[in-house]
């Protein structure tokens, strides 16, 4: 596995080594030993999620209160998505910045994001299937969102899928009414860098 730290501190792109023949492909999409060596901490697993989305579905930007927060290890097992991480940690040198990783069935990459970072993705194909390993379980009272189309963040979401067809963004009601980054910060709802498991 190859690990590359993204420009947002506390987030990594993971590219597995694939072994293929005429029968198909085998790969390790998560390995605790190499993960801990690269990231500097183990991933404690409390919950595993699976999300299936039509082309154009835009999910996020989601985050959890810190502490304890929720670290995520994410990959796409069918279709393709642009997976985005946003630094929502007030006081972080990269606060408000974002980075992205294309998750698809060609390179079969994964992305890891530590507690305090925001996460979202855009499905680029129908039936795009994303699976997550999570360090803590879902707690609706501690889960929040920032609007994924906030111009202050300025995420460059794709407008076409890999087949060249235009994408029409579809957001949940909760994500459509999510606050901007500035509003969430003013309301005191964002995590703080000093409370995060990773000191940026």
Cα separation values, 48 from 22, 75, 131, 152, 189, Å: 31, 12, 7, 32, 26
Task: For residue 122, give both structure tokens.
Answer: 């855009």
Instruction: Please check whether residue 83 is in contact with residue 103, taking contact to mean a CB–CB distance below 8 angstroms.
Output: yes
115: nearest Cα among 5, 9, 4 = 9
Bond preceding residue 135 cis, omega within 30 of 0 = no
Q: How far is CA 23 from the centre of its chain?
A: 31
Instruction: Please check whether residue 116 is in contact with residue 63, taking contact to mean a CB–CB distance below 8 angstroms.
Output: yes
Which entry of 3, 132, 169, 192 is annotated as an active-site residue? 132
Residue 132 is a catalytic residue: yes
Residue 3 is a catalytic residue: no
Instruction: Please check whether residue 147 is in contact with residue 178, taking contact to mean a CB–CB distance below 8 angstroms.
Output: yes
Cα separation values, 41 from 4, 116, 134, 140, 196, Å: 15, 16, 14, 26, 13
118: nearest Cα among 188, 151, 70 = 70
Query: What positions carry a catalytic annotation?
Result: 62, 132
């Amino acid at each position: 596995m190859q690990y590359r730290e993204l420009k947002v501190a506390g987030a990594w792109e993971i590219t597995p080594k694939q072994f293929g023949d005429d029968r198909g492909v085998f790969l390790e999409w998560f390995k605790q030993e190499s993960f801990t060596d690269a990231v500097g901490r183990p991933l404690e697993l409390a919950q595993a999620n699976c999300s299936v989305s039509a082309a154009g579905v835009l999910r996020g930007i989601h985050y959890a209160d810190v502490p304890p927060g929720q670290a995520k290890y994410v990959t796409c097992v069918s279709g393709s998505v642009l997976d985005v991480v946003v630094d929502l940690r007030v006081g972080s040198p990269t606060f408000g910045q974002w980075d992205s990783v294309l998750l698809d069935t060609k390179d079969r990459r994964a992305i890891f994001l530590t507690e305090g970072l925001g996460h979202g993705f855009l499905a680029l194909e129908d039936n795009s299937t994303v699976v997550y390993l999570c360090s803590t379980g879902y707690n609706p009272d501690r889960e929040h969102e920032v609007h994924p189309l906030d111009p202050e963040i300025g995420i460059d979401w794709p407008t076409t899928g890999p087949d060249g067809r235009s994408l029409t963004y579809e957001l949940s009601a909760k994500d459509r009414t999510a606050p901007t980054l500035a509003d969430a910060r003013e309301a005191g709802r964002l995590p703080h860098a000093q409370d995060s498991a990773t000191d940026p």
